[in-house]
Amino acid sequence: MNDFEPQQCELGGCTNPATQISPEGHVCSSCAASIGVDYRRAERRERRALR
């Protein structure tokens, strides 16, 4: 059995309701936005490393 409520954000320390599904699990819109920023930054770093 899972230790979280399905309607709650699965990221540690966040208690907002989950509204989206991401590679990190069910997350709230605030955490989803943060994850998106992190992914875009990582993608830019990788592109620069390939130059």
pTM score, whole prediction: 0.74
- Cα–chain-centroid distance for residue 3? 18
Q: What is the domain count for the chain?
A: 1
Q: Which pLDDT belongs to residue 3?
A: 61
pLDDT band per the 50, 70, 90 thresholds, residue 2: low
Q: Which pLDDT belongs to residue 10?
A: 92
pLDDT in tens, 4-51: 556 899 998 999 999 999 989 999 999 999 999 999 999 999 999 988
Are 25 and 10 in contact by the 8 Å Cβ rule? The answer is yes
Q: What H or E segment, with its residue span, contains residue 35?
A: helix 29-50
Q: Which domain holds residue 14?
A: 1-51
Q: Which two tokens stand for residue 15?
A: 């208690």
Q: Is the dihedral of CA 6, 10, 12, 17 positive or negative?
A: negative
Above 50 in pLDDT, residue 1? no
Q: Which two tokens stand for residue 49?
A: 């490393």
